[in-house]
Structures are given as structure tokens and as C-alpha cells.
Chain A
Amino acid sequence: MNELPAAPAPKLGDANATAVVSFLVFVGITLVITYWASRRTRTSAQFFAAGGNISAVQNGFALAGDYMSAASFLGIAGMVSMSGFDGLIYSVGWLVGWPVITFLIAEPLRNLGKYTFADVVAYRLRQRPVRIAAAISTLTVVSFYLIAQMVGAGELIQLMFGLPYRVAIMIVGGVMLLYVLFGGMIATTWVQIIKAGLLLLGATLLAILVLARFNFNPLELFAAARDKYGPEVMAPGKEVANPLDTISLGIALMFGTAGLPHILMRFYTVRDDRTARRSVAYATSLIGFFYLVTFILGFGASVLVGRDAIGAIGKKGNMAAPMLANYLGGTPFLGFISAVAFATILAVVAGLTLSGAAAIAHDLWGHVVRKGKVDEREQLRVARYATVALALLAIGLGIVFENQNVAFMVGLAFAIAASANFPALLMSMTWSRFTTRGAVASMITGTTSTLVLILLSPTVWKDLLGHPEAVMPLKNPGVITVPLAFLVGIVVSLSSREPESEAGFVEARHRMHFGPTHEPDKP
């Protein structure tokens, strides 16, 4: 396959007509949907949980949409194109958290909670301390995730559409604000569904065009990459230089997915536990398929476009997929893929903002300030104020962190979700002796230990702060912080009894398996 022509230099950075038109069509359609949704968003249950009216297939797509960020589409395709096999290690890690959600979390979560995962942890415990601890970890996860998304968005859009960084950040923040503020969960869900559909369509089309050059045989594609870059392209490389680090990241990914607030929140948008269970199965299949496709795209880009051309535009190879689209389908296809990447960022940011708003309005305002006796309209109003505040925060953080290396922040968000949220969630569902103190101690330990260890890690302490040697050898602390959060939760719970929690466990078990007797207010 050495006789393949050299890739034409793609004109990235000039906003091409297809990109602008595709993007405007996407924004136009989603804003019409937002208008339609806004007339159906009158109660908190509609704002936070789409009134529980989302079907299993719809939620499967929405979950996949929330998860397949531009980082996983462009980032993994880029990593595969630049280093071959190593990219696959990441794809696999991003996927294996999903079965864990199905096996352990989805159904009891749906039955026990209303809008946030804190509903479940606090169900039979003292509301205020648990809600505060859960809101802290939720907002920490959401903030770091938002920073990574916003900075990525600014850089990408700058590169793809030629828009100045700050303008790009403000467009993302502004459009996302319209979705969430007016359309709540109904609009956010439909944005995710459309985006997931477009992303899967675009990626699949691209993969088919790649494989068409290799007689529809992936093996011929891999062989071409081997001819061009040597057999190392198929073998583990420098990404697994430190095995313990790879395992630690693996733990964070595997259990962090089951602790991401914006993912967990989606299970309240379906009518019952049965639908929740089916929806994760759809999501897992879609995401698994997507990562297999991304692997083909990465190899396709490295063979057809070439590493030199990809590396010339972005060191990490983030532009591999768009450049491949340009090579195979010309400017129109490049425009379409660019618009899909933009839409992807918008949708993910909207989902994150909504889950942050739920933590503020439902957990903090509703249960901490108003002690659970909150007026419906007031809670909705607070949620909207919180949405505006979070959108401004997202824009602000995006601007503050311009030109910073924020790639590690997604891993950090997963590590906090895995350490602060997942252990408390699992123990609250399964262990009658779990106490308020145990839950709060576990969540606070999970959040703070992760933050401290990341601060001391090579990524921050050495690379970012310029110290000669990192205090902590691991880049991701999951292997320490997840067991630590479980241990603290167990030891603190055993150190004192909480009769109310133990007594409430029987009722909680009924509700976890039979479902709530009364559905939250339906429209």
C-alpha cells in the first residue's frame, strides 16, 4: 500500500461553508426542540428528569451521547493514529465501566432516587450532611469535567472554524445555556440523542470509506500501517511504561463511570428500573461499537493521511479524524465532521451543567437550606439561577485555563467520581449498617485524597508546577483512593451505630426492588 498518494494538505482553520451550514442547521434544529421542550418544562420533575418519559432506546442514545465526548472521538482516533495499539487500551478502559453500571447501580438507583445520586445515598441517612458532601463531590467532578471540555472546545473550534478562542468559548457557553435554561432535561436529552446519532453516523461513514480502500478488510488496513510504521504499531508502547499507573487509571475509569453525576442522572428520565436496565445495555452496545469504529479511523488516518501531516497540525493527533474526513470526502465531509465535533461538545457541556444545577437546586437548596420542604416553583427557579451561574462559571473557567494542559482533568474527574461517589452509592444500597458519618467521611475522603494525590502527581507537581521530582509516583490515584474511600466508609460506619439507618434499610430494600409506590409528579 506504499503507492498511496500523499495526503493533500487540508485547509483546517478556514471556516468552510459546509461546516458553518451543518453547524447552523444543528443549532437551529436543537433550538426549535428547546422551544418545544420549554413548553413541557413546568415542574422540577420535567426540568431534572424529563418527567420520566424517555424510552429505553432514547435513553441509550442519550447516555452514549453524554459519554462520547469530542475527547473520545478526536482524542482516541488521534492517539491510535499517532501510536497505534496504545489507543485501544484507552478505548477499552472507557467502555468497561458501563457493564458495572448495569450490574450494580442502574436499577436500584432508578427506584430509590428522584433527581440526583445523593437521593440514593441520603435515602435512609441524615439528609443535610450527606447532601452537602455529595454536592461538593458532584460540583468538583462537574467543574473539572467542564474545564476539560471548554478548553478542548475553544481549541478545537479555533482550529476547525478559525474562530478566536474566546468567541468559541462564549458560543458554546451561550447555546448550552439556552438548551438547559429553557428546555431542561427534555431539551438536553434530545440534543444528546441527535448528537449521538450524528456522531455515530459520521464515524461509521468515515470508517466505511476507509475500509473501502482496503477491500473492506480491516486486516489489510492494519498490514498497511505495519508496512508504513513497522510492527511496533500493533504492540504496546510507551503508554504502558508504568503498569501500576495503567491499572490505577483502569480502576478510575471502571468505577468512575458509575459515579459520574451527569450519567447517573439519566436513569431518572426513564419510567422504571426495567427500562433503566435496558437503556444501559443499548448505551453499552453503542459505545462499544463507537470505540471499535474509532480504532479503524485512527489506523485509517495514520495510513492515508500520515503521521507527519497529522502531527504538524496538533501534537497529540487530535485532528486525525477531521483530516481523514477531508482526505476521503473533501471539504464537505470535513465540514460535516467539524460540525459534529462542535455539536458533541455542546451536548456534553449541557449535560454536565444540568447535573450541577440539580446538585445546587435539589440537594443544596431543597434539602439543606429548605430541609426538604421546598416549594416546587421555588426549586425550579433556583435550578434556573444555578444554570446561569454554572454557564458563566464554565465560560470563565474556559477563559482562565486557556493554553493550559487540562487533559489530565478528565482523568481527575473520573478518579473523584470513582472514589467519592461510587463507594458511598454502593454501600448505601447494600449495607444496612452504613451510617451518615460513614457516608460523609467516605465521600469527603474520596474527594480530598484524590485532589491531594493529583496535586502531588507527576502531571501537576512536576510538569505543571515545575518541581524536579513528583511526591507521588502515580499519574492517576484510583488504585489508592477507591479502596481508601471504601475503607473509611466501613470503619467509620462500624465505629458508631445509627438505628434510623438500620431500621430504614428494610423499607429501602422494598423500594429498591419494587420501585416507588408513587411516581414523581407526572405532567
Chain B
Amino acid sequence: MKSSAVTSDVTHDLQQPMVAIKGYLSMVLDGSAGEVSDKVKEFLKKAYESNEKMIEMVNTLPSKSEALNPKSETNSKL
């Protein structure tokens, strides 16, 4: 398997739980799960924002991997 394909798989697998965290937190924040206190909302917003940062970081994995292994076949078999 090429390193780019491995990175793509890893990115996909990391994204999946982060998408679930983002989605469920957004549903709590938009009231889909009922009313929550302002304090709880404040804490959940911080969790949501941290998850967004994680998503951004994971999104950069393919380009970082490409920069480290520019079309190199020597690193393509993992």
C-alpha cells in the first residue's frame, strides 16, 4: 500500500469519531437534546472548538505526508 493511501486511511479513520463529536455537540448546543444551562453550553462550546482544531490538524495530514514523502516509491510499501 502506498504511503499516501495509508495516510488517507488514517485521516479517514481519525475523522470519523471527530465528526460524531462535532455532530453530537452541535445537537446539544442547538437544543436538539433539550434545554441545557448556560454554564454547560459554555463548556460544550469549548469542547466543540477544541474538536474543530483537531479536525483542522487531521485535515493537514495528507499534505504533511506528501511533503515528507514526495511521490517516493521507496516509502510506499508499509
A and B interact: no
B residues at A contact (CB < 8 Å): none
A residues at B contact (CB < 8 Å): none
